[in-house]
Structure formats: structure tokens, C-alpha cells
Amino acid sequence: MAYRRTERTEARLAEARERIVAAALEQVAEGGYASASVQAVAARAGVATGSVYRHFPSKAELFGEVFRRQANQELGVLEKIATHESPALERLAEATEVLARRALASPTLAYAQIAEPVEQAVEAERLILRRGYRDAFARILDDGIERGELEPHDTQTYGAAILGAVSEALVGPLGEPYPQDSEALTASLVQFVTGRVSALSATA
């Protein structure tokens, strides 16, 4: 007769798995991806190294899960802004501000999400996050065109360009031990994005 795990065993395994994922996220946020060895995660989670490998066969699979969850959380915030009823330029400003503020509030984690060298499996999750951001910006632009607020344009390209500009502007400050004034940087990014897109205004 095949062994069948009890509900208590399943619950204990699920709890251990969640503790490992939480510890991995904390480790990346504190020391970056390079610091997040399986041994460091196991120690933080209070489990044996073998327990980590029991749930995740490799470091790449563990952090692929970490980045996937973080991406869903980050995208959820941006997508909520994209569905607001306010004018497109206002939503672009809000989305840019939120993106910058959240990154600057947790610079080590944000740098890992944007630029730190990672394994291919983790990079795949990072690309999904970038595409999601691009699509959220494009959705706002599409809505602006549909409402007659903006002239028709290639919203996917504009969305990617906005994300690229914001990400590139953040990479340097996020990697510095003493980041520049976050308020000034955020304001400059908002001004840049809205200034570029305002040229597409149907009433310009």
C-alpha cells in the first residue's frame, strides 16, 4: 500500500516551504542575490540545508519562486493604478512615482530585481516582471487614446521606453551605498515621463 501523507504532514511541509521562501526574500532584501546562498537561507529559515533542497532542487528554482511572488505583488500595485478612472497623464505620474518610491524604499531588493547578475531561471522571472510593467504603462496609454486624451501611437513601444528610462535612472542610485535624495529623483522621473507623453496630448 502506497504511503499517503497525512493532512498534518502536508501542512507542516507547506509551512516549512513558506518559511524558506520568506527567508530567501529577506536575505535578498538584506544582502542582494549574491549573498543568498542556500546555506544562508536555511540558517535564516531555521531549517537544515537538506530541507531547502527537498522543496527546491536548486538555488535557481528557489529564487525563481521568490522573484515570481515579488513580481506578482509589484505588478498588482501597478495594475491597480492602471485601472483608475483619472486622466492618463495623472495615472502615468502616479505609476512612475510608486515604482520609484517602492524601489528606493528597498534598494538592495530592487537592484536584485533590476540589474544584479542572476541565473537564467531567475532572469526569466525578472523578464516577466519587466513585461508586466511595460504592459501596465501601455494599458494607461491605450486608455488615454481611447478617451481622446492622447494622439494614437505605438503604446507597447512607449510603455517599454518609459520602463527602460525609469529603470536605467534607478540602477545607479540603487547600487550606491548612499543613494541620492530620493524625493528629488522621484520628482525628476515623474516630470520626465509626463513631459515626454504630454507631447502626445490630443489638445496640445
Neighbours of 29 (CB within 10 A): 17
* Res 5: pLDDT: 66
Same domain, 79 and 172: yes
**Among residues 36, 16, 14, which one has the least CA distance to residue 117?**
36
Same domain, 105 and 180: yes
Here the contacts of 193-197 (C-beta below 8 Å, separation 24 or greater) are 193/92, 193/93, 193/96, 193/162, 193/165, 193/166, 194/89, 194/92, 194/93, 194/96, 196/162, 197/88, 197/89, 197/92, 197/141, 197/150, 197/158, 197/162
Q: For 153-178, how does the pLDDT look when each residue is reduced to its tens digit (9 = 90+)? A: 999 999 999 999 999 999 999 987 66
Q: Do residue 41 and residue 128 come from a single domain?
A: no
Number of structural domains found in the chain: 2
Residue 203 lies in a domain: no
pTM exceeding the 0.75 threshold for the entire prediction: yes
Spans in the chain with pLDDT lower than 50: 1
* Domain span at 108: 60-198
Please check whether residues 138 and 49 belong to one and the same domain. Answer: no
The pLDDT of residue 12: 87
What's the confidence (pLDDT) of residue 71?
82
